């Protein structure tokens, strides 16, 4: 019962792809997708979306009070969403299936110092292949702001508003840490929203966000972001949200948290402070926060690490970009075979793959402490974490 409203030869290929998704269980990264829906970019590049507004990231620490800093964290977070979830559609015409990283794949980048905001560095490593898990660390040393997290997905197929859709539950979280000039540290636990991939019948997948995500601060402030856009609810406007920031609860009382601020609007456009109607964020194309700054990455010739993402996938990406899908498929098969051989050799020697930048830990005290603030929300109170250990080789800025 799926229809692709196009008369192209791609139509029937797409229809059978949709049928295969509908009956598929497991992770989508294992599913073979038609060539025209393949993206030339690996998932290890995605954590860079967290910092495409490096000036907002740096400015968090300049907030004068815990309340002001909580608001700055929320503003920065909302401003990342457009880059995380919609700009691929503008760049590539629709959401596409990213390359599934190999174990140990790394992605390094940075945002140079500019206007006194300081330099920000990014280190990403694929820390698991089955299931795919990506860990990342983003740090602006001079400002004392860092973000660390890991990300995995659980996908399922469902009918949402009568349209066949892929539901993506994001597993994992990030923790933002700021160190104030006084030496005092604050932490913010950031949970991740659920994704609905809609537009499948038309062969033009796009992301809508659903349900809630949270930012819980060690200072007690809590932001609850509710996603209400169309494709999930019956709302006719896409990408809408409402964020409420509540006051720290006194440990002695069990009263309800008092809302301090409410922001409403579209996360890929304008949102306002509902109390005084002033603009909170404007991430729209020409909005004040619309400009995003792509991460700076060393040219492929200069990439030294063994599985540096763009170097590893160079032939595959080029094949996808230029429509030479046979070339892409062949090199992808080569990479996957090599991985299988490596795993087999490790098994034989009784060894395991050694991660470079992260170490898996059973629990993280910061997560355990802050997750308690979210105990009635369905966010798990305990999660595995990846501790960051080593920096990437530094790429100097050329003037
Ligand atoms: C990865 C973590 C980022 C945010 C993000 C954005 C898009 C998501 C991606 C995450 C995970 C993989 C994803 C992708 C959109 C489509 C793709 C869910 C969560 C799936 C695997 C591909 C589906 C195939 C259809 C397009 C046909 O911070």
Q: What is the mean pLDDT of residues 262-266?
A: 97
CA–CA separation, 227 vs 238, rounded Å?
10
- Look at ligand 1, atom 11, and give the residue with the nearest C-alpha: 153
CA of 205 to the centre of ligand 1 (A): 11
170 ligand 1 Cβ < 6 A? yes
> Could you read off the pLDDT of 337-347 as tens digits, one per residue?
999 999 999 99
> Could you read off the pLDDT of 350-382 as tens digits, one per residue?
999 999 999 999 989 999 999 999 998 999 999
CA–CA separation, 29 vs 22, rounded Å?
15
| Whole-number pLDDT of residue 235 | 65
Q: What is the mean pLDDT of residues 102-116?
A: 97
Confidence tier at 96 by pLDDT (50, 70, 90)? very high
| Whole-number pLDDT of residue 233 | 61
17 ligand 1 Cβ < 6 A? no
Confidence tier at 167 by pLDDT (50, 70, 90)? very high
> Could you read off the pLDDT of 279-329 as tens digits, one per residue?
999 999 889 999 999 999 999 998 888 899 999 999 999 999 999 999 999
| Whole-number pLDDT of residue 40 | 97
| Whole-number pLDDT of residue 18 | 87
CA of 204 to the centre of ligand 1 (A): 14
Three-state secondary structure along 278-292? CEEEECCCCCCCCCC
Q: What is the mean pLDDT of residues 75-103?
A: 95
DSSP 82-100: HHHHTHHHHHHSS--EEE-
| Whole-number pLDDT of residue 19 | 87
| Whole-number pLDDT of residue 27 | 75
**Angle between helix 325-349 and 314-322 (nearest 10):** 160
| Whole-number pLDDT of residue 113 | 96
| Whole-number pLDDT of residue 30 | 78
CA of 69 to the centre of ligand 1 (A): 30
Contact 327/319 with Cβ under 8 angstroms?
A: yes
The atom number, within ligand 1, closest to the CA of 170 reads 19
Confidence tier at 1 by pLDDT (50, 70, 90)? very low
Q: What is the mean pLDDT of residues 377-398?
A: 86
> Could you read off the pLDDT of 189-203 as tens digits, one per residue?
999 999 999 999 888
CA of 144 to the centre of ligand 1 (A): 30
Q: Judge if ipTM > 0.95.
A: yes
- Rg of the Cα atoms in the chain: 21
| Whole-number pLDDT of residue 9 | 57
| Whole-number pLDDT of residue 308 | 96
Structure tokens at 235: 């709302």
- Look at ligand 1, atom 22, and give the residue with the nearest C-alpha: 97
Backbone dihedral region for residue 93 (phi beyond 0: left; psi -120 to 50: alpha; all else: beta):
left
Q: What is the mean pLDDT of residues 108-113?
A: 97
CA of 67 to the centre of ligand 1 (A): 33
> Could you read off the pLDDT of 213-237 as tens digits, one per residue?
999 999 999 999 999 987 656 667 8
205 ligand 1 Cβ < 6 A? yes
> Could you read off the pLDDT of 7-66 as tens digits, one per residue?
555 678 888 888 888 887 777 777 888 888 999 999 999 999 999 999 999 999 999 999
Average pLDDT value for the chain:
92
153 ligand 1 Cβ < 6 A? yes
Which of 95, 147, 157 for mutating ligand 1's site (highest number of atoms within 8 Å of CB)?
95
């Amino acid at each position: 019962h799926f229809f692709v409203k196009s008369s192209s030869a791609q139509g029937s290929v797409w229809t059978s792809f949709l049928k295969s998704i509908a009956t598929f269980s497991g992770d989508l990264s294992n599913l073979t997708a038609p060539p025209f829906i393949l993206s030339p970019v690996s998932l290890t590049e995605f954590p860079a979306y967290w910092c495409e507004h490096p000036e907002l990231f740096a400015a968090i620490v300049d907030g004068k009070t815990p309340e002001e800093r909580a608001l700055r964290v929320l503003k920065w977070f909302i401003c990342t969403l457009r880059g995380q979830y919609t700009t691929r559609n503008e760049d590539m015409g629709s959401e596409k299936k990213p390359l599934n990283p190999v174990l140990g794949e790394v992605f390094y980048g940075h945002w140079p110092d500019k206007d006194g905001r300081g330099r920000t560095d990014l280190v990403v490593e694929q820390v698991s292949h089955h299931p795919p898990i990506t860990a990342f660390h983003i740090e602006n040393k001079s400002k004392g702001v860092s973000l660390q997290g890991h990300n995995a997905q659980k996908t399922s197929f469902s009918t949402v508003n009568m349209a066949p859709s892929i539901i993506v539950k994001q597993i994992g979280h990030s923790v933002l840490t700021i160190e104030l000039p006084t030496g005092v540290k604050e932490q913010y636990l950031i949970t991740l929203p659920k994704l609905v991939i809609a537009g499948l019948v038309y062969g033009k997948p796009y992301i809508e966000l659903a349900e809630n995500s949270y930012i819980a601060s060690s200072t007690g402030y809590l932001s609850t972001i509710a996603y209400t856009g169309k494709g999930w609810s019956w709302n006719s406007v896409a990408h809408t949200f409402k964020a409420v920031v509540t006051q720290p609860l006194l440990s002695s009382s069990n009263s309800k948290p008092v809302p301090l601020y409410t922001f409403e609007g579209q996360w890929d456009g304008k949102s306002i402070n509902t109390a005084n109607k002033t603009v909170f964020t404007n991430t729209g194309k020409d909005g004040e926060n619309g400009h995003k700054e792509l991460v700076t990455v060393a040219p492929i010739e200069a990439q030294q690490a063994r599985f540096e993402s763009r170097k590893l996938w160079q032939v595959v990406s080029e094949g996808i970009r230029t429509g030479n899908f046979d070339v892409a498929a062949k090199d992808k098969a080569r990479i996957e075979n090599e991985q299988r051989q490596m795993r087999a050799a490790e098994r034989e020697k009784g060894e395991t793959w050694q991660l470079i930048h992260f170490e898996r830990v059973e629990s993280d005290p910061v997560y355990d402490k802050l997750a308690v603030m979210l105990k009635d929300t369905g966010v798990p109170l305990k999660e595995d974490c990846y501790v960051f250990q080593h920096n990437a080789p530094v790429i100097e800025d050329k003037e």
